[in-house]
Amino acid sequence: MELMNEIWKKAKADKKRIALAEGEEERNLKACSKILENELADIVLVGDKKVIADKAQKLGVNVSGAEIANPQTSERASAYAEAFYELRKKKGMTLEKAEKIVKDPLYFATMMIKLGDVDGMVSGAIHTTGDLLRPGLQIVKTAPQTSVVSSMFIMEVPNCDYGKNGMLLFADCAVNPQPSAEELASIAISTAETAKSLCGIDPKIAMLSFSTKGSASHDLVDKVTKATQIAKESRPDLSIDGELQLDAAIVKEVANLKAPQSDVAGKANVLVFPDLQAGNIGYKLVQRFAKAEAIGPICQGFAKPINDLSRGCSADDIVNVVAITAVQAQAN
């Protein structure tokens, strides 16, 4: 896939240090070996040295170039506990509790990012999205000028003229169940930035609804209209329009009928869904019915990059998500 080739090239050009928080897991070990072989990133495997060595040997993969950090024995654990306690003491955290929590590999890897020991982290082959996001939201938090962490999928639809030769970005399909208008605007802006920095796309952003330019009236439509207005006001440099129905957003003929004045309708390559039910169902529909490749969910809006994996992921998926994380870290 052309886009992933570009992302690999970018990752290699300025190598970053990425933690694999599920460092003892087999797909992570296979991925680690491939990442090191292709010089995509320096890797820190979070886990026990002996478990990792035994599993790598059994799998016949070479991970000797990776650093290993064991949360149970690491010299950094006390610094991480101290820093975590300072960050969360107003929320009732005690040092004693913090010392226990940072022994959890996901919290440990997140503290590695926070204290600058790695540039990014990837996890989720054996944890849920919520398990991964929660430490990130509590510790790394959002980037400046970003009110929410969100996610996007790069959808590559075969034999398709919509978007950029069938490539479209869908957001938010994995994080925010019910974004407010302000949060929806922030998701649109984050996705525009991801489109530019990661995909080399000049974003044309459609704020999706079941209404086009007032064709229906409902509180849910009002939320999308308000989000569009907020996004346009805060980023007048971006091409954003709404509220638009999906067909008006991507099909020229429908756009000409329903939204002829719009500079986005009929040309959208970034689709912002009004909530997580629509976004999550929407990307899966396109993935299954149109046999699209869905790369993601890629998290955006964190102060430093953290990315999730699907529990059904392959080792190659992990390699690609690490390359994406490394490129996001370069942008930081």
Q: Which positions lie near ligand ACO, rule CB under 6 A?
A: 91, 129-130, 133-134, 137-138, 142, 148-149, 174-177, 280, 297
Read off φ and ψ for residue 5, nearest 5 degrees.
-60, -45
| Beta carbon of residue 293, minimum distance to ligand ACO (angstroms, whole number) | 14
For strands 270-272 and 167-171, give the pairing: parallel
C-beta of 138 vs 314, nearer to ligand ACO: 138
| Beta carbon of residue 99, minimum distance to ligand ACO (angstroms, whole number) | 19
Report the residue closest to ligand ACO, judged by CB: 137
C-beta of 218 vs 311, nearer to ligand ACO: 311
CA 211: distance to chain centroid? 28
C-beta of 2 vs 289, nearer to ligand ACO: 289
Long-range CB pairs of 116-119, under 8 A, 24+ apart, other chains included:
117/17, 117/44, 117/76, 118/17, 118/18, 118/19, 118/44, 119/16, 119/17, 119/18, 119/304, 119/305, 119/326, 119/329, 119/332
Q: Fill in the amino acid letter for 265.
A: A
**Residues 42/67, Cβ–Cβ less than 8 Å:** yes
Q: Fill in the amino acid letter for 41.
A: A
| Beta carbon of residue 155, minimum distance to ligand ACO (angstroms, whole number) | 13
C-beta of 76 vs 284, nearer to ligand ACO: 284
| Beta carbon of residue 84, minimum distance to ligand ACO (angstroms, whole number) | 12
What is the C-alpha to C-alpha distance for residues 62 and 57, in angstroms, rounded to an integer? 8
| Beta carbon of residue 168, minimum distance to ligand ACO (angstroms, whole number) | 16
C-beta of 65 vs 177, nearer to ligand ACO: 177
- Best CA proximity match to 298, nearest among 164, 208, 175, 212: 175
The single residue listed with the structure tokens 């490749």 is 293
C-beta of 130 vs 200, nearer to ligand ACO: 130
| Beta carbon of residue 246, minimum distance to ligand ACO (angstroms, whole number) | 19
